Amino acid sequence: AQSVSQHNHHVILSEAASLELGCNYSYGGTVNLFWYVQYPGQHLQLLLKYFSGDPLVKGIKGFEAEFIKSKFSFNLRKPSVQWSDTAEYFCAVNRGGGATNKLIFGTGTLLAVQP
Amino acid sequence: GAGVSQSPRYKVAKRGQDVALRCDPISGHVSLFWYQQALGQGPEFLTYFQNEAQLDKSGLPSDRFFAERPEGSVSTLKIQRTQQEDSAVYLCASSREPQSVETQYFGPGTRLLVL
């Protein structure tokens, strides 16, 4: 069965620090990869996604992620975080061309950015 | 534009009570998903509709859970004889087309507490 692992459950950073959140998945076939974010009191929203082409994907708010197929990884990065990036971040995967397109989520990483 | 809406936002039920949770997807979206999110976990897939057809219900935890989308728009998730382990946030998501690369747009969720 597919699974998604997020290595960091809680991350605390100071403003302007660089961010990298790890995500690994287990599935040998074609996958689509997503990062969702949930700001305090808000609903889940898409940060970025990868389904083909350039493995370095740029999303909203200065976030980017790199798909490394050989490592089954899709790590999220931001060179300089802001206080407003405080949120919970979820990595998710679904099968490319799958019948139901259901997303398999990781357990999430709670990021706190200190001003 | 209007996003995915869910009602009620909060529901407290006594053990054994039946509950019904409603989802209004984005207008015209073909695909609709239900997920369950337990405290400290990522969302877990429950069921998927393409228009009015329920194509995947593999994630429903028991036969006490039932979902429908009779006219291909609004969906209802019903839980019969609620148990304490049903306490969770129930998320609805919709996407414009059934392809796996499509972004799923999430609603705010219904937080269910079973006493």
Q: How confident is the model at residue A30 (pLDDT cuts 50, 70, 90)?
A: confident
Region of A61 on the Ramachandran plot (φ > 0 left; ψ -120 to 50 alpha; else beta): left
Q: CA B19, CA B66: separation in Å to the nearest integer?
A: 11
Q: CA B7, CA B15: separation in Å to the nearest integer?
A: 20
Give the pLDDT score at A112: 97
> What integer best gives the mean pLDDT of chain A?
93
Work out the minimum CA distance from A14 to partner chain B, whole angstroms.
24
Per the CB < 8 Å rule, is A100 touching B103?
no
Per the CB < 8 Å rule, is B41 touching A102?
no
Per the CB < 8 Å rule, is B91 touching A101?
no
pLDDT digits (tens, 9 = 90+) for B32-82: 999 999 998 999 999 999 999 999 999 999 999 999 999 999 999 999 999
Nearest residue to A78 (alpha-carbon basis) of A94, A89, A92, A65: A65
Query: Does A60 reach chain B within 8 Å, measured CB to CB?
Result: no
Per the CB < 8 Å rule, is A103 touching B104?
yes
Give the pLDDT score at A28: 79
Residue B65's φ and ψ, nearest 5 degrees, are: -100, 130
Return the residue of B nearest to A98 by Cα. B100
Among A19-33, A75-89, B20-34, the minimum mean pLDDT is found in A19-33
Helix (H) or strand (E) holding B79: strand B75-79
Work out the minimum CA distance from A104 to partner chain B, whole angstroms.
7
3-state secondary structure of B60: coil
Among A42-56, A71-85, A92-106, B4-18, the minimum mean pLDDT is found in A92-106
**Identity of the amino acid at B91:** L
State how far the alpha carbon of A96 is from the alpha carbons of A3, A78, A82, A102, B57, in Å: 15, 26, 34, 11, 19
The DSSP secondary-structure symbol of B103 reads P
Query: Does B90 reach chain A within 8 Å, measured CB to CB?
Result: no
Per the CB < 8 Å rule, is A90 touching B42?
yes
Q: How confident is the model at residue A100 (pLDDT cuts 50, 70, 90)?
A: low
3-state secondary structure of A60: helix
- Position B90 pLDDT exceeds 90: yes
Work out the minimum CA distance from A30 to partner chain B, whole angstroms.
11
Work out the minimum CA distance from B19 to partner chain A, whole angstroms.
22
Cβ distance B46 to B67 under 8 Å? Answer: yes
- Position A102 pLDDT exceeds 80: yes
